[in-house]
Structure 1
Amino acid sequence: MEGIAAVDAATMHTSANRRTGEMYLPGVKTMNEPKFVEEFLDWWRIEHPSDFSPKGASDREVKYPGIPRAKCDLIFSSEGSPLVNPEWSIEVKHVALVGNNGKNNDFGVAKILSPYLKDRSLIHDIERLRDHGIGKRKAVVGYSFEYSYKSCYEAALKHPNHLDVIGNIKEVCRLNDPNGGNYPLTPMIEFADEIFQRKGLVKELIVKDFKNAWRHPAGGNGKFFAWELVN
């Protein structure tokens, strides 16, 4: 998962809280999904051009046929399929366990499992891809930073000017696990996997670690996860 750390180190993008106007610290942690996919795809095309066949066969923000204003995050081909019928169509989700200020974010579970359309959850991405997505194969992928007392210690060494943010993260870790101070993503995605599998929506869950995305004090290490949809 080298691309996450590479984008984190190189991005010049900054964003702001839409409600308050507060500027966020830069990094993958605070990039919205479309901007992350844009910069990740730019990196991927340069660093691994042989992954695409035909040459450069990839695109993002591709309109879903028959759904006004709905767009698929990413399409690409590696086996010669033209983009009018790509090999893959993919939706991307960032699950944030804490916010820009390091405080608890209550929307992480809803981002994956909410049955309500207003929450734009991963399960709705699965259903939309299944029913309307183009391409031969379809998948949903996600990424999330994870936290612990150990990660807070490392963050404090790297970001001594943001100890308030790190202190907030440490308190969330304490509330989640008073003894060990761990706040992992794994229980949530395993729970989601049970539901998606029981509904017959997806194939085997894939989980990979990523590391060293430390541009933001609430960054660091985390998990990349993915499901291919059942045809």
Structure 2
Amino acid sequence: MSHSKEPPVVRCEGVTRTYSLGGAGRVFGRDKTAQTVTAVSSVSLSVRRGELVGVAGPSGSGKSTLLHLLAGLDVPTSGTVILDGEDTATKSERSRAQMRLQRVGIVFQHFYLLPALSARANVALPLIELGLSRNERKERATALLERVGLRDRISHKPGELSGGEQQRVAIARALSTDPNLLIADEPTGELDTETGASILDLFEDLTSECAVFVASHDKQTLDRMDRVVRLKDGKRIDTQHG
């Protein structure tokens, strides 16, 4: 399927992210430069609405850092990340937080559901920040949980749900603000094959509404992607475009 006519929801150009390991100072009267590690190096890519795009690579290849950059959780040391036409690096931390709230849904590997809250209350949490009324939050969270197949689990707390059900709650929460970009970090990593396949079915359905970007090392997951960006030592090593 071609998405060339769709403007990218997110685009990064020559993105590099380095981190200091500390150690700056003077040693035997000489300046000692702080050591740095390059997590992502000169990576360019774009993701459009309608696409299900994967990023693959061994541990330490830069997948999580790239996700954080695309989501606006972090900004590049050099290069640009353009999210919905705006350069994330030009935004204050507060403005980027607002951008994430309104435009990006994130499904973390370990779900991060609040154990004391019901599934519906967990899904409704981001809507408090958007200023929706209690009834509006309840209606939207209920509709989303029904959509992901949890009509009968709305009042259950995370500890009463299976891993796959918790994953669906996390996806519903990520969708609650109607994002243009959905980012998922190892979404099938803790699920059995059948449950993981059902989560990927859901992601495919969601591409009609948003761009979906998935980090994974699982071959069955990557085989379901429209295309895969491959990283090694922070660099893009595949020859695909976009």
Larger gyration radius, structure 1 or structure 2? 2
Q: Normalising to structure 2: TM-score of the pair?
A: 0.28
